[in-house]
């Protein structure tokens, strides 16, 4: 026999009451837990993924949408921008790094991102197996893609049009997985990365094969929310010099495939720029300007001063807009923050109601419990022991409620993220436990003790003689 066993016997004797109290407490605590887990992990992931990116340049539209689509890969891109304009911006002396991105296709819901290999370095993606892309239609897949889609080195796949799964399949040009990146815990783990040229190639072929007629106004053309890459059709036989030069760097096996002689594959953005310049020179006299497009460009500043001047400069260019990840995510947090605060407020109210319910239950129980308490006193229990008994009861109820609440919160998050794992790019881990949860548990127990305080004082003050004389 011990105090806990006595407490437990009282709780077990009133299962419905006990259930209600535990349920209410666990409801409140689980909501708080969910919000806690979501907001901390969400905020952390949001910030981490935007690290080192000072500005995103893309097509005009919602700046938040631009940020979401190009950094977090959760919204549709705002459109495309001319490569030429992007290059001009990239050459600005305030720019330290400019990562081009061309979106528009997916493979089984995983976005295919045309970019250059500096992208991998920027997000700390090393190659755990295979190598980086060197030629057109070679792809490096994020660790998570490799795991969930079961793709391995040498596997081929066809991109589908659109960014969210489904869509028309580009079945004439297959990507080959040449590398698997190390996991970074960042969103690029969920991406398929390739060269800009691959993305252009797929859409160039697409244009040929399907003989879509495109007018010059590209913006009319995002009917299916994907972003088409409309390029002019380059003749692929200029600047052999460069190709040869590249060829020598490649390993033999790859180099032997003769069909792959396109321009710019596996090059850094700087290289592409050089290439484009060379091409422009070679094509001197050709009136048609290079109208390749990219979707967005992730920019890192060279100097902090750029924050003031640079975005303004970008925004002055007709079709372009710039968006600051820091600013836009702060705006997003503010928006979400209101909802979170509201829910949190509600959760705390539920917890308080739970505490009130514990109080009412114990307070009411005192009427029938007073004989028991008095009899315990006659058996030698001190006043303090009776008060402890009542406070323990409040504490046990609150502890059970809080413990179930924590478990419930984690389960909910695990279930929800498990359920949406296909599309979830801001994965929140249900298995992660935070220190705040310990505080939550302790806080709930303290609250349970507090709600038992008045009954405990009654127990402390009980007049044994009078109580037992009544009976």
Ligand X SMILES: Nc1ncnc2c1ncn2[C@@H]1O[C@H](COP(=O)(O)OP(=O)(O)OP(=O)(O)O)[C@@H](O)[C@H]1O
The pattern of x and - marking residues 408 through 447 that bind ligand X according to CB under 6 A reads: ----------------------------------------
Stretch that binds other proteins, among 2-10, 131-139, 273-281, 420-428 (CB under 8 A): 2-10
CB-nearer residue toward other proteins: 304 or 380: 380
Q: Which does 426 bind (CB under 5 to 8 A by kind): ligand X, other proteins, none?
A: none
Q: Which does 233 bind (CB under 5 to 8 A by kind): other proteins, ligand X, none?
A: none
Q: Is 344 helix (H, G, I), strand (E, B) or coil?
A: helix
In a 13 Å sphere around the CA of 225, the CA atoms on its Cβ side amount to 11
Q: Under the criterion CB under 8 A, does residue 376 sit at the interface with other proteins?
A: yes
Q: Which of residues 384-423 bind other proteins (CB under 8 A)?
A: 385
Distance CA 285, CA 70 (A): 36
- Considering only 221, 238, 383, 446, the residue that binds other proteins (CB under 8 A) is 383
Q: Under the criterion CB under 6 A, does residue 470 sit at the interface with ligand X?
A: no
| CB 341, min distance to ligand X, A | 54
Q: Under the criterion CB under 8 A, does residue 468 sit at the interface with other proteins?
A: yes
**Chain-centroid distance, C-alpha 70:** 13
| CB 470, min distance to ligand X, A | 9
| CB 384, min distance to other proteins, A | 9
Enumerate helices (H) and strands (E) in the chain, giving the number of each: 16, 12
Q: Under the criterion CB under 8 A, does residue 76 sit at the interface with other proteins?
A: no
Distance CA 122, CA 117 (A): 9
Count of residues in contact with other proteins, rule CB under 8 A: 26
Strands 81-82 and 293-294, by their bridges, are antiparallel
Which alpha helices (DSSP H) does 68-124 contain, by range?
83-90, 118-122
Q: Under the criterion CB under 6 A, does residue 469 sit at the interface with ligand X?
A: yes
CB-nearer residue toward ligand X: 94 or 374: 374
Asked if residues 260 and 64 have their Cβ atoms less than 8 Å apart, the reply is: no
Asked if residues 8 and 345 have their Cβ atoms less than 8 Å apart, the reply is: no
Q: Which does 13 bind (CB under 5 to 8 A by kind): other proteins, ligand X, none?
A: other proteins
Q: What is the 3-state secondary structure (H, E, C) of 213-266?
A: CCCCCHHHHCCCCCCCCCCCCCCCCCCHHHHHHHHHHCCHHHHCCCCCCCCCCC
| CB 15, min distance to other proteins, A | 12
Q: Under the criterion CB under 8 A, does residue 284 sit at the interface with other proteins?
A: no
**Chain-centroid distance, C-alpha 373:** 55
Where are any strands of DSSP class E within 19-94? 55-59, 81-82
Stretch that binds other proteins, among 105-113, 210-218, 374-382, 445-453 (CB under 8 A): 374-382
Q: Which does 86 bind (CB under 5 to 8 A by kind): other proteins, ligand X, none?
A: none
Q: Under the criterion CB under 6 A, does residue 466 sit at the interface with ligand X?
A: yes
The full DSSP string for 123-136 is TT--EEEE----ST
Strands 138-141 and 110-115, by their bridges, are unpaired
DSSP 108: T
Q: Under the criterion CB under 8 A, does residue 380 sit at the interface with other proteins?
A: yes
| CB 28, min distance to other proteins, A | 28
Q: Which residues bind ligand X (CB under 6 A)?
A: 466, 469
Q: Which residues bind other proteins (CB under 8 A)?
A: 1-2, 5-6, 9-10, 12-13, 371-372, 374-383, 385, 464-465, 468-469, 471
């Amino acid at each position: 026999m011990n105090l806990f066993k006595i407490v437990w016997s009282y709780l077990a004797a009133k299962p419905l009451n006990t259930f209600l109290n535990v349920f209410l407490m666990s409801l409140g605590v689980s909501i708080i837990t969910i919000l806690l887990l979501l907001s901390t992990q969400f905020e952390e992931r949001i910030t981490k993924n935007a690290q080192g990116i000072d500005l995103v340049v893309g097509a005009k539209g919602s700046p938040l949408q631009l940020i979401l689509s190009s950094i977090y890969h959760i919204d549709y891109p705002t459109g495309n921008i001319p490569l030429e304009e992007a290059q001009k911006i990239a050459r600005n002396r305030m720019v330290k790094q400019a990562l081009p991105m061309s979106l528009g296709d997916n493979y089984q819901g995983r976005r295919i991102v045309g970019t250059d290999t500096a992208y991998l370095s920027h997000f700390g993606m090393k190659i755990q197996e295979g190598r980086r892309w060197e030629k057109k239609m070679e792809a490096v897949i994020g660790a998570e893609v490799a795991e969930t889609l079961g793709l391995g080195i040498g596997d081929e796949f066809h991109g589908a049009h659109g960014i969210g799964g489904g869509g028309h399949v580009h079945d004439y040009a297959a990507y080959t997985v040449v590398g698997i990146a190390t996991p970074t815990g960042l969103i690029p783990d969920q991406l398929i990365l390739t060269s800009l040229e691959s993305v252009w190639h797929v859409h160039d072929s697409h244009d040929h094969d399907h003989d879509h007629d495109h007018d010059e106004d590209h913006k009319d053309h995002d009917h299916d929310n994907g972003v088409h890459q409309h390029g002019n059709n380059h003749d692929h036989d200029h600047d052999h010099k460069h190709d040869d030069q590249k060829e020598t760097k490649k390993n033999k096996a790859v180099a032997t495939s003769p069909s792959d002689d396109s321009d710019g594959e596996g090059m850094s953005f700087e290289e592409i720029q050089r290439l484009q310049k060379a091409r422009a020179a070679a094509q001197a006299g050709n009136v048609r300007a290079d109208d390749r497009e990219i979707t967005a460009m992730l920019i890192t500043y060279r100097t902090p001063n750029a924050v003031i001047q640079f975005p303004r400069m970008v925004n002055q260019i007709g079709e372009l807009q710039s968006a600051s990840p820091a600013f836009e995510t702060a705006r997003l947090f503010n928006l979400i923050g209101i909802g979170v605060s509201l829910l949190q407020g509600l959760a705390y109210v539920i917890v308080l109601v739970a505490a009130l319910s514990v109080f009412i239950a114990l307070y009411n129980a005192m009427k029938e419990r007073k004989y028991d308490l008095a009899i315990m006193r006659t058996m030698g229990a001190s006043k303090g022991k009776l008060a402890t008994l009542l406070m323990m009861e409040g504490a046990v109820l609150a502890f059970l409620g809080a413990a179930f609440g924590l478990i419930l919160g984690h389960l909910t998050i695990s279930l929800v993220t498990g359920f949406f794992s296909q599309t979830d790019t801001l994965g929140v881990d249900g298995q992660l436990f935070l220190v705040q949860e310990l505080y939550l548990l302790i806080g709930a127990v303290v609250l349970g003790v507090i709600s038992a305080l008045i009954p405990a004082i009654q127990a402390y003050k009980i007049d044994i003689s009078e109580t037992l004389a009544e009976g």
